[in-house]
Structure formats: structure tokens, C-alpha cells
Structure 1
Amino acid sequence: MVQNPETIQECIEKARQRLYQIANQYPDLWHPEVIRQSMVLDELINEYNQATRLKKTIKI
């Protein structure tokens, strides 16, 4: 189920903040925790893009 873009934006911001925290904790950007959180953020961004694309399609 696709969430609304505003909800996803909030999740993106939280995930981004978490990524910053993890990156500060593990300065090696190849650390598995950094990569894992980066992937979480990527998925949320993809979901946001899908939701906004769907919203534009429905308005047309």
C-alpha cells in the first residue's frame, strides 16, 4: 500500500537523521550498519517518488 507523500517525507527525515547518527558512530562509510540504514533511506525515497508519481497520475 502506498502511503501519502507527507507521511513518507516524515519517515525520510527520521531515516536521514538516523543515518547521520550511524555515520558519526561508524566513520567507515562501508560499515554494514551505515549501508543498511542507507538502504532503508533509499527505499523510503523510492516509495516517496512512487507516491508522488501516482498522485500526479490521478490528478491528470
Structure 2
Amino acid sequence: MKTYETLHQQLENARQQLYDLHNQYGIEHTSVLEQSMLLDELINQYNRIFQSSLCKTNPPNE
């Protein structure tokens, strides 16, 4: 699994690339849509890591 720092850097890079592609091609270009999906997957990975760490530190009351 990716470390937080690595994933955070990948998120920032993917976000910047999406911004650049959008400015260059517009919102409906294939490159923009593909980069958006890549960024979505990185965000999902981040959320899974974040949720997992929350569950470990704050288990639900039983």
C-alpha cells in the first residue's frame, strides 16, 4: 500500500495535470476525462486509507 506522503504527492501532481489539460483542451477532451478518472481513483485510495486509519483509532461502540 502507498504511504501517505507518496499518495499525497501523486494527488497533487494529478490535480495539477488535470488543471493543465483542462486549460489546454477543454472539459470534454478525452485526455481530460482520463486524467479526471485517474484523479478519482487516487482520491478513492486516499479515502480508503483515511477511513481505515480512523477505524483503527476510533473503533465503533458496541
Quickly name the TM-score band, shorter chain normalised.
0.7 to 0.9
2:19 maps to 20
The alignment's TM-score, normalised by the length of structure 2, stands at 0.82
The alignment's TM-score, normalised by the length of structure 1, stands at 0.84
Q: Which one of 23, 34, 37 corresponds to residue 35 of structure 2?
A: 37
Superposition deviation, residue 31 in structure 1: 0.8
Q: Percent identity?
A: 41
Unaligned runs of 5+ in 1: none
Unaligned runs of 5+ in 2: none
- Corresponding residue pairs, total: 58
How many angstroms apart in 2 are the aligned matches of 1:22 and 1:4?
27
How many angstroms apart in 1 are the aligned matches of 2:52 and 2:3?
10
Q: Which has the higher contact order (CA 8 A, sep 6+)?
A: 1
* TM-align CA RMSD: 1.2
